[in-house]
Each structure stands twice: as structure tokens, then as C-alpha cells.
């Protein structure tokens, strides 16, 4: 089942679902594992109730099984997975005549599975469909092997113990899939780190710019590690989403077994780079990681608190850029950012709600929000964006604005452009066309790009 019929591991998915519900479940799972892997599988299956209807089934394997089923041959789902999950899968697909699976006492894997199949069907009395080295023990007693994917080395090992009757290709992960799983396009949000340099008119200071580049990389690596964790804890929800279900991890193209070691490696690399910057920067990155982990595991399901946290995570990038360079942020910039980022976070939730309405109708939900909340989210988000424009207008007429800019009156044009962009963002969300993070959308959207160029020209003309 795992890795062959479905492009994932049901036990690993269940484990992350338990961690999402309560991080303290980690202690319970360790206690279960101490009594045997089969006990761990059984308890996770009981606790989580995995939704098998949206698992990433391999279409090529299903086509093969359907063809065999049409021939009238008996098909048995023999898996090391827990019997509860296996029976649910068998019931959903309607292709299997029997199920052999792990229970509280037996982990039906490798040699244990071989003995069980030989007892049921005799030596060389069955064909076996598998995809991994752990299946070689079973193939030793099989009449022929149906190999799903596998390297050339694995094929040689299988050929040494039995005849390979069929090789079924599977969609192997590409380098691009791994890069996409890191969500490198979201690194664009880390350009916020350069805001203190821009606001202080010191973007040409090479040593400070080098620090910001290092900070950009550190934040990016740490953010990617959290995105991976996000995908692992949101697998079920993402598979119900019309766009997120095609991501490399929910779709099963990138194996969970390779994602798990990437998490600590990316996080360690990001923290290691942080040590090369002023001491306070490590504290900012650490705070970003802790808050992001809390958000991923629990807080993103709490309405309103989730968008406030998202706006804080945006703001931490500004603070990180400030600490890395020693250029302190003004209260004006922090106030402006607070309202603008709150508007962006609300637009993200509103857009998710509009997307899910197209899938689930009146029952649509997104995180902790329901469809009836859409109007309120739009009201709060649009208002927050307009308040950010007001703060910018007050800054232009303040003593600070007049001190930093030779022609501050030109900056009034920024208010007009920003007002237009906030309205454009919310109109796009209302029309169900906002499918990215709002900042990523801004860097991809042609209208937003034109506005950003105009804003940059106005900024330069006002200096």
C-alpha cells in the first residue's frame, strides 16, 4: 500500500496530523513505539481517522489492478500498514478480495509478510506488486514481480530472486519538484529585509548591503523549513484545495521519507548563517521560527489571531533587516507596516475562503473561518489597508518626512498609488483570482509591477 498503491506513507501522515492537534502527542507516540512499530501504527490509525478518499493514489497502479480485476483474478491488499487504514482503502477502491495488514501484535512487513503470503497461497503461488527494497523478501517467494518504479539497482536485485513480469512507471520527483516544495518563490517576501536600507537612503552602502543579503538567505532557509512542516501538517486540508493539492508534497510526487531530513538541515543552515550577523539577528530569526512553528501546529486555526500572527511574521522581516544593519526602524514605518501587513493577511484568508466556496459551496471553510465571515474579512482588510495609506500621508507631513526628503510633497503621489494598489488587491481577491501570498502576487501581477516601478521613481524623485 504505502509507496506502491499510494504515493505516501499513511503512518507518517497520521503522526504529523497528531502533532498538529497537540505537539505533546510526540511523547505518546514515543511510548507507543517502545512497544513495537505495529503498536505505533495501530494507535495512530485509531487516533487520526485518516481520510483515505483523497490520498494520492498512483493512477498507473490503479489501472493495472482494474485490468487484473476485470480478468477475474483474486487481488489481496497485503500491506505493512495498519489494518484499519488498509480496510478503509480497500473499501474505497472496491478492487480487493481480501486484506492482510499489520495489527496490534504483528508488523506485516518483509519476512513476516512473506511467511503470511506463503501460508495463504503457497511458495510461488502469487504475484506481488511492490516498489521498495523491503519487498525483496516477499519477492523471493513470489511467482513473478510487478515493480512500481524503482532504480536500476533495485531491478537487478528483484531479477535475482524472481521473474519481473511487469514494470509500472511512476511519476518520479524532479529537481524542480524539490525546489517547488521549498517554495522558493516565497523568498521574495524576504525582500522586506532591505526596507530599512531603502528607508534610510543607504542602499548603496556595500557592507550593509552584504549583511542584508546574508540575512535574506538565513530567513529564506528557515522559512523553507517551516513551509515543509506546514505541508506535512496540512496534507489532508491541502488535498481538498483545488490549487494546493497539486503541490509536490500533497500530490505525493516528493516522498515524505526525503522531506523529513530536509527540515532540520534547512533550519540548521539558516540558524548557522544567522550566527554570522549581529547577535540580535539570531534572536529575531529564533523568534520567527518559534512563532511560525506555533502558527503551523496550532494558532493558524484560531480566527483573527492567525492574521495578526501573519502580520507579525511580515514585520519580523523588517526588524531582522534593521538588526542586521543597525538601522533602527521609525515608529512611522512600524505603524504603517502593521496596518498594511494586516490588510495583506486578511486578503489571504478572504481569497482562500472564496476559493473554497467554489469547491464546497455554502459549507466552505478556510482555516477557522466560514463563508459567512467573508464580508467581515473584506471590511476589516480593506479598512486596514486604507489606514496604512493614512499613516503614510501623516508621515509625509511630519518633521521626519521633511528631514529625510528634499521634495517631500512629491511623496503624495505614493498615497494615490498605494490606495490604488490596496483596492486592486482586494478586487482581485473578490474576483477569486488571488491564488498566491499577497506579496508574491504583487511581484507577479503586471498591474502591481507597474505600480511598484512608479513608486520607486517617485521615491527617487523625492530624495
Given this chain, do its domains 10-168 and 175-462 carry the same CATH topology?
A: no
CATH class given for the domain over 10-168: alpha beta
Give pTM, 2 decimals.
0.80
205-211 contact pairs (CB < 8 A, 24+):
208/325, 208/327, 211/277, 211/324, 211/325
C-alpha–C-alpha distance, residues 404 and 463, integer Å: 7
Grade residue 268 by pLDDT with cuts at 50, 70 and 90: very high
Q: Which of 83-87, 211-215, 261-265, 398-402 has the lowest mean pLDDT?
A: 398-402
C-alpha–C-alpha distance, residues 271 and 263, integer Å: 12
49: left (phi over 0), alpha (psi -120 to 50) or beta: left
Give per-residue pLDDT as tens, 50-82: 888 888 999 999 999 999 999 999 999 999 999
C-alpha–C-alpha distance, residues 154 and 9, integer Å: 20
Q: Is the pLDDT of residue 127 over 70?
A: yes
pLDDT at 436: 75
Residue 40 corresponds to which cell in the numbers above? 505505533
C-alpha–C-alpha distance, residues 288 and 219, integer Å: 9
Q: Which of 18-22, 207-211, 452-456 has the lowest mean pLDDT?
A: 18-22
Give per-residue pLDDT as tens, 326-362: 988 889 999 999 999 999 999 989 988 888 777 666 6
- Cβ–Cβ < 8 Å for 387, 339: yes
Q: What is the CATH number of domain 175-462?
A: 1.10.357.140
pLDDT at 369: 84
For the residues 234-263, what does the mean pLDDT come to? 82
Residue 271 corresponds to which cell in the numbers above? 540558524
Distance of CA 334 to the CA centre of its chain: 28
What DSSP assignment string belongs to 350-385? HHHHHHHHHHHGGG-EETTEEGGGHHHHHHHHHHHH
Grade residue 234 by pLDDT with cuts at 50, 70 and 90: confident
- For the chain, the domains span 10-168, 175-462
Amino acid at each position: 500500500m504505502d509507496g506502491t498503491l499510494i504515493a505516501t506513507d499513511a503512518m507518517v501522515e497520521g503522526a504529523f496530523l497528531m502533532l498538529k492537534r497537540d505537539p505533546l502527542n510526540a511523547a505518546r507516540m514515543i511510548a507507543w513505539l517502545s512497544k513495537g512499530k505495529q503498536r505505533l501504527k495501530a494507535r495512530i490509525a485509531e487516533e487520526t481517522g485518516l481520510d483515505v478518499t483523497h490520498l494520492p493514489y498512483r493512477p498507473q497502479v490503479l489501472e493495472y489492478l482494474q485490468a487484473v480485476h476485470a480478468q477475474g483474478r483474486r487481488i489481496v491488499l497485503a500491506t505493512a500498514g495498519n489494518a484499519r487504514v488498509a480496510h478503509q482503502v480497500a473499501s474505497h477502491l472496491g478492487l480487493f478480495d481480501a486484506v492482510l495488514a499489520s495489527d496490534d501484535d504483528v508488523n506485516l512487513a518483509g519476512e513476516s509478510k512473506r511467511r503470511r503470503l506463503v501460508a495463504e497461497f503457497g511458495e510461488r503461488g502469487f504475484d506481488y506488486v511492490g516498489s521498495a527494497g523491503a519487498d525483496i523478501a516477499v519477492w523471493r517467494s513470489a511467482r513473478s514481480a510487478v515493480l512500481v518504479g524503482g532504480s536500476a539497482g533495485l531491478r537487478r536485485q528483484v531479477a535475482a530472486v524472481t521473474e519481473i513480469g511487469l514494470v509500472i512507471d511512476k511519476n518520479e520527483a524532479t529537481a524542480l519538484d524539490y525546489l517547488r516544495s521549498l517554495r522558493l518563490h516565497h523568498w521574495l517576501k524576504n525582500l522586506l529585509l532591505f526596507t530599512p536600507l531603502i528607508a534610510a537612503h543607504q542602499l548603496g552602502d556595500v557592507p550593509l548591503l552584504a549583511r542584508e543579503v546574508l540575512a535574506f538567505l538565513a530567513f529564506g532557509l528557515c522559512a523553507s523549513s517551516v513551509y515543509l512542516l506546514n505541508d506535512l501538517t496540512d496534507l489532508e486540508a491541502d488535498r481538498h484545495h483545488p490549487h494546493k493539492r497539486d503541490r509536490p508534497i500533497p500530490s505525493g510526487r516528493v516522498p515524505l521519507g526525503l522531506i523529513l531530513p530536509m527540515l532540520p538541515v534547512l533550519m540548521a543552515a539558516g540558524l548557522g548563517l544567522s550566527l554570522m550577523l549581529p547577535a540580535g539577528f539570531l534572536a529575531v530569526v529564533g523568534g520567527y521560527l518559534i512563532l511560525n512553528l506555533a502558527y503551523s501546529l496550532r494558532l493558524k486555526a484560531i480566527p483573527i489571531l492567525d492574521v495578526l500572527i501573519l502580520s507579525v511574521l511580515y514585520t519580523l522581516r523588517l526588524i531582522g533587516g534593521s538588526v542586521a544593519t543597525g538601522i533602527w526602524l521609525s515608529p512611522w514605518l512600524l505603524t504603517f507596516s502593521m496596518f498594511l501587513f494586516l490588510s495583506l493577511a486578511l486578503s489571504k484568508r478572504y481569497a482562500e475562503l472564496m476559493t473554497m466556496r467554489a469547491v464546497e459551496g455554502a459549507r466552505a471553510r478556510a482555516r477557522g473561518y466560514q463563508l459567512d465571515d467573508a464580508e467581515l474579512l473584506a471590511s476589516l482588510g480593506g479598512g486596514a489597508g486604507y489606514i496604512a495609506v493614512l499613516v503614510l500621508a501623516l508621515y509625509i507631513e511630519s518633521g521626519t518626512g521633511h528631514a529625510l526628503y528634499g521634495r517631500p510633497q512629491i511623496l503624495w503621489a505614493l498615497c494615490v498609488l498605494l490606495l490604488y494598489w490596496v483596492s486592486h488587491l482586494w478586487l482581485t481577491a473578490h474576483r477569486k483570482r488571488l491564488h498566491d501570498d499577497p506579496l508574491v502576487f504583487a511581484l507577479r501581477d503586471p498591474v502591481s509591477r507597474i505600480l511598484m516601478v512608479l513608486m520607486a521613481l517617485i521615491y527617487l524623485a523625492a530624495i
